[in-house]
């Protein structure tokens, strides 16, 4: 019974995530930027902009310039999260997985600790630094709590109370073909998956939108070429008629 | 607030972070625009009865018309990276002067009315109702931001508080709460053509006086032409260059450079203002109208090129927006950038060797250079990224023997605002201006102690006025701030000029 409820929740959460984030991306992409506002010095070419964006996404370049502690904790958390997501593909893809995923598996396993450490550091700042304490809302704390709880419940199943991962894989990979297999009767599994479902649902209605949003930030994604190329928003062009 | 009330902040280091002092700048606000000044720009004279509906409608419109507004309100994660980057926070310790907190004054309202979480769980995400007190708080704290973009350099997503400040000021003006200083000045530009309200006749007389001054000083007749049809170059410069010190010495510098370069140029009385306060109040239509004056002047005078004088926010609008607001410029000579910066012109002439320069004329000074915020972070001067930092320094080094840079973390893209930019250069905000200048002044004091720096050069009319006013509070003479072209003017030896050596 619980397995059916969880399966339905996964479908619902996936729809909300994909449709919600998709709608948001569409809004960002279709809203015009009326003026050229790259933060300079900025790349002069589109190619340069792509490289600037890669540096922001992979290395958090601006954050590194700003604050080494936030960078250290934030970068550690995000990079660990990537490894962890990659590692979890193995539990959602039906059948055997490509060798690359298998190779990355052990890295993802220990990345869980880095993720918790990074999140703990970020959370500590919300208490210890008066400026960050001042700007923190309950939701800022709760999102960190949610991510930490996902990490801890996951790590527990790997290192403390091992779960029947084969059964979990059967459940998750079955969802692709609308087969609802039974989840192992472990509270940790239900907790972990329930928290992940929550994360998926709140993604499009929270600050987690920073992930797609960064790519649409005019101060970062515009090339510095206003004199060479005339830039004009459709609504602004109307003023010229 | 009167000058005497201001406590000059004591800092050990230009970037020393204070402990937050909530409420320390509460209630500080510039004078409201009078109905007359509001209506001249197409805004309602006073707070409209349906201010709430109109505020929300305007926010909705902005979210549809400006991607930056929409994206920046959505994606801040409150990481805290920007919290110690604003010079007004460093100087006042008021937490609402932290960039993220300043944005949140508006974001909290956006969340309440435009997001799912804020509509149903306002307490959870820091959303709040829009009240008249909120508008007053906006008016206060969105006039404690100089739109300098320092925070946007350090934000992992490039969120630019200047964009939010401009949006908030635009909303406020549209519901009847415009700012006196900016709106009064914009009115003058729309009717007379410059911020000072200097009519063509007065401008002509001023320029003639200047020509005489140059001739008295050098024995050479150097022209400063006004409204001369058929000139090659239209010079658009801040009107402070016609009137204020040390700006006017910069204008003399441009004139000497043009003279030696042998080019024909003119100032326009119709477009006798480089500054565009439409940027400060965040209003596209006003910014466009001011820009269109330059287009009309260029066409009427039949010039081939446009060059801008030393000005910060003006250069941002010129470099980044002029093509958008008043382009295309296909009727000008395509061999030159439109517009070109005066320093780009002068640096090219120096490289060509057309200028005879005697560096020793500036030996009585040891100089440092203040990167003006909007030149540094919102534009470019030459043909490569970062040339906005190098070209001014190259010119200074070509005309001065003694030059020292300030702390690396306070120059180039990390430069600190002078404290008076973005529509805050008004006496009713003097308290804020003095405190906001503290980080920059601390950096100057450091190089004074270590290298004996006596003067600071700048290329922005606002920086120059602001520093001549606040530097005395930090133990410097008011003429410790100089124009870069003032240094050029000192060093340049005109053809036929009687020099001391020749006597």
| Chain B residues with CB-CB distance to A141 below 8 A | none
Report the alpha-carbon angle A20-A22-A23, nearest 5: 65
Q: Cα–Cα distance between A235 and A175 in angstroms, integer?
A: 45
Domain boundaries, chain A: 2-239
State the Cα–Cα distance between residues A81 and B433, nearest whole angstrom.
45
CB B207 within 8 A of CB B226: yes
The answer to whether the CB atoms of B284 and A236 lie below 8 A apart is yes
* Residues of chain A with confidence (pLDDT) below 70: none
Neighbours of B68 (CB within 10 A): 25
State both tokens at B399. 């005309």
Instruction: Give me the interface pTM, i.e. the ipTM.
Output: 0.96
pLDDT of B322 over the 70 cut: yes
pLDDT tens digit sequence for B456-492? 999 999 999 999 999 999 999 999 999 999 999 999 9
Nearest Cα residue to B231 out of B297, B135, B181: B297
User: Chain B closest CA to A102's CA: distance in Å?
Assistant: 32
Q: How many residues does chain A have?
A: 241
Q: Binning pLDDT at 50, 70 and 90, where does residue B1 land?
A: very low
Give the residue on B whose Cα is nearest the Cα of A20.
Answer: B116
Cβ-based contacts of A27 with chain B (< 8 Å): 70
Residue B208 to residue B213: CA distance in whole angstroms:
9
| Interchain CB contacts (distance < 8 Å): A and B | 206
- pLDDT tens digit sequence for B367-388: 999 999 999 999 999 999 999 9
Contacts of B340 in chain A (CB under 8 A): none
Secondary structure letter of residue B304 according to DSSP: S
Q: Work out the minimum CA distance from B485 to partner chain A, whole angstroms.
A: 23
pLDDT score at B501 = 55
**pLDDT above 90: percentage of residues in chain B:** 96
Q: From B71, B65, B95, B69, select the one nearest B82 (Cα to Cα).
A: B95
On whether the CB atoms of residues B281 and B166 are closer than 8 A, the answer is: yes
Q: What is the pLDDT of residue B7?
A: 80
CB B124 to CB A217 under 8 A?
no
Chain A residues near residue B339 by CB distance under 8 angstroms: 227
pLDDT value at B6 more than 90: no
pLDDT value of position B503:
41
Smallest CA–CA distance from B328 into chain A, residue: A230
CA angle A87, A88, A92 (to 5 degrees): 135
Q: What value, to the nearest 5°, has the Cα angle with vertex B133 and ends A140 and B146? A: 70
Q: Does A145 touch chain B (CB under 8 A)?
A: no
CB-based contact A65:B153 (threshold 8 Å): yes
The reply to whether residue B157 touches residue A217, judged by beta carbons under 8 angstroms, is yes
What is the residue whose two structure tokens read 């060059």? B307
CB contacts, 8 Å: A230 with chain B = 323-324, 327-328
Judge: B159–A217 Cβ closer than 8 Å, yes or no.
Answer: yes
| CA atoms of B297 and B194, how far apart (whole Å) | 13
Of A36, A137, A209, the CB nearest to B126: A137
- CATH of A2-239 among 3.90.1150.10, 1.10.10.10, 3.20.20.70, 1.20.950.20: 1.20.950.20
Q: Give the other-Cβ count within 10 Å of B328's Cβ.
A: 12
pLDDT at B239 over 90: yes
Closest Cβ–Cβ partner in B83, B160, B339 for A132:
B83
Q: Are B154 and B85 in contact (CB under 8 A)?
A: yes
The answer to whether the CB of B122 falls within 8 A of the CB of B466 is no
Q: Which of A35, A55, A74 to mutate to test the interface with B (most CBs of B within 10 A)?
A: A35
Partners of B160 on chain A (C-beta within 8 Å) are 37, 39, 219
Report the alpha-carbon distance of residue B490 to residue B492 in Å, rounded: 6
Is the model's pTM score more than 0.80? Answer: yes
CB contacts, 8 Å: A73 with chain B: none
Q: Which residue(s) pair with B307 in the sheet?
A: B235, B340
pLDDT at B500 (0 to 100): 61
Q: Which of B81, B123, B378 sits opposite A138 (nearest CB)?
A: B123
Out of A41, A130, A214, name the one closest to residue B19 (CB). Answer: A130
Helix axes B51-65 and B99-114, enclosed angle (nearest 10): 100
Give the residue with greater pLDDT, B501 vs B166.
B166
Distances (CA, A) of B349 to B2, B224, B242: 46, 19, 24
Residue B5 has what pLDDT? 60
Distance from CA of B382 to the nearest CA of A (A): 11
Residue B54, token pair as written in the block: 């109109």
pLDDT reading at B14 higher than 90: yes
Q: Would you tell me which residues 25-44 of chain A have a C-beta closer than 8 angstroms to some C-beta of chain B?
A: 27-28, 31-37, 39-44
Question: Across the interface, do B149 and A39 touch by the CB < 8 Å criterion?
Answer: yes
Q: Could you report the per-residue pLDDT of B107-143, keeping only the tens digit for each?
A: 999 999 999 999 999 999 999 999 999 999 999 999 9
Q: What CA–CA distance (Å, rounded) separates A104 from A87?
A: 7
Asked if A210 and B76 come within 8 Å (Cβ–Cβ), the reply is: yes
């Amino acid at each position: 019974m619980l397995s059916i409820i969880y399966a339905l929740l996964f479908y619902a959460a996936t729809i909300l995530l994909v449709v919600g984030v998709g709608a948001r991306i569409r809004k960002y992409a279709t809203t015009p930027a009326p003026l050229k506002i790259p933060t300079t010095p900025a790349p002069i070419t589109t190619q340069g902009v792509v490289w600037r964006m890669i540096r922001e996404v992979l290395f958090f370049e601006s954050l590194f310039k700003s604050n080494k502690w936030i960078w250290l904790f934030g970068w550690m958390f995000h990079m660990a999260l990537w490894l962890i997501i990659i590692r979890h593909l193995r539990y959602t893809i039906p059948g055997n997985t490509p060798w690359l995923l298998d190779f990355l598996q052990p890295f993802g396993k220990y990345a869980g600790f880095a993720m918790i450490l990074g999140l703990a550091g970020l959370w500590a700042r919300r208490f210890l630094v008066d400026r960050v304490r001042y700007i923190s809302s309950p939701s800022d704390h709760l999102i960190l709590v949610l991510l930490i709880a996902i990490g801890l419940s996951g790590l527990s199943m790997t290192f403390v109370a091992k779960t029947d991962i084969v059964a979990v894989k059967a459940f998750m990979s079955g969802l692709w073909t609308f087969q609802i297999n039974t989840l192992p009767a472990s509270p940790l599994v239900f907790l972990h998956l329930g928290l992940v479902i929550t994360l998926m649902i709140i993604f499009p209605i929270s600050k987690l939108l920073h992930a797609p949003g960064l790519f649409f930030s005019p101060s970062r994604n515009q090339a510095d070429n206003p004199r060479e190329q005339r830039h004009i928003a459709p609504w602004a062009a109307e003023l010229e008629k | 607030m009167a000058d005497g009330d201001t406590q000059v902040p004591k800092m050990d280091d230009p970037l020393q972070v204070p402990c937050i002092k909530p409420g320390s700048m509460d209630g500080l606000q510039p004078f409201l625009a009078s109905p007359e000044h509001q209506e001249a720009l197409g805004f309602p004279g006073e707070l409209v009865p349906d201010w709430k509906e109109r505020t929300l409608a305007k926010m909705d419109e902005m979210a549809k018309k400006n991607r930056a507004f929409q994206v920046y309100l959505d994606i801040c994660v409150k990481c805290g990276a920007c919290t110690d980057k604003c010079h007004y926070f460093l100087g006042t310790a008021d937490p609402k002067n932290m960039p993220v907190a300043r944005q949140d004054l508006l974001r909290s309202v956006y969340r309440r009315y435009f997001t799912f979480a804020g509509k149903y769980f306002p307490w959870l995400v820091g959303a709040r109702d829009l009240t008249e007190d909120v508008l007053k708080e906006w008016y206060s704290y969105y006039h404690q931001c100089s739109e300098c973009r320092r925070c946007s350099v350090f934000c992992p997503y490039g969120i630019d508080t200047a964009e939010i400040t401009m949006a908030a000021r635009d909303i406020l003006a549209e519901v009847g709460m415009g700012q006196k200083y900016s709106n009064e000045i914009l009115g003058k530009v729309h009717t007379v053509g410059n911020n000072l309200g200097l009519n063509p006749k007065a401008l002509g007389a001023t320029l003639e006086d200047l020509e005489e001054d140059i001739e008295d000083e050098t024995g050479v007749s150097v022209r400063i032409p006004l409204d001369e049809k058929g000139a090659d170059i239209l010079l658009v410069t801040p009107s402070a260059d016609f009137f204020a010190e040390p700006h006017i010495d910069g204008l003399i510098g441009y004139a000497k450079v043009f003279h030696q370069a042998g080019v024909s140029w003119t100032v326009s009385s119709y477009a006798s203002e480089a500054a565009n306060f439409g940027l400060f109040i965040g209003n596209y239509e006003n910014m466009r109208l001011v820009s269109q004056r330059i287009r009309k002047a260029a066409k009427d005078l039949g010039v081939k090129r446009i060059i801008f004088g030393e000005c910060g926010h003006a250069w941002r609008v010129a470099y980044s927006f002029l093509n958008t607001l008043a382009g295309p410029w296909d009727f000008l000579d395509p061999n030159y950038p439109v517009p070109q910066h005066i320093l780009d012109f002068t640096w090219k002439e120096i490289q060509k060797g057309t200028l005879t320069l005697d560096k020793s004329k500036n030996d009585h000074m040891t100089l440092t250079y203040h990167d003006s915020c909007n030149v540094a972070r919102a534009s470019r001067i030459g043909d490569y990224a970062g040339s906005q930092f190098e070209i001014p320094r190259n010119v200074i080094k070509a005309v001065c023997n003694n030059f020292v840079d300030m702390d690396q973390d306070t120059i180039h893209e990390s430069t600190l605002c002078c404290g008076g930019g973005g529509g805050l250069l008004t006496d009713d905000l003097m308290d804020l201006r003095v405190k906001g200048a503290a980080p920059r002044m601390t950096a100057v004091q450091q190089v004074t102690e270590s290298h004996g720096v006596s003067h600071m050069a700048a290329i922005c009319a606002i920086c120059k006025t602001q520093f001549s006013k606040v530097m005395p509070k930090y133990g410097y003479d008011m003429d410790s701030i100089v124009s870069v072209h003032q240094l050029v003017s000192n060093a340049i030896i005109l053809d036929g000029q009687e020099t001391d050596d020749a006597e």
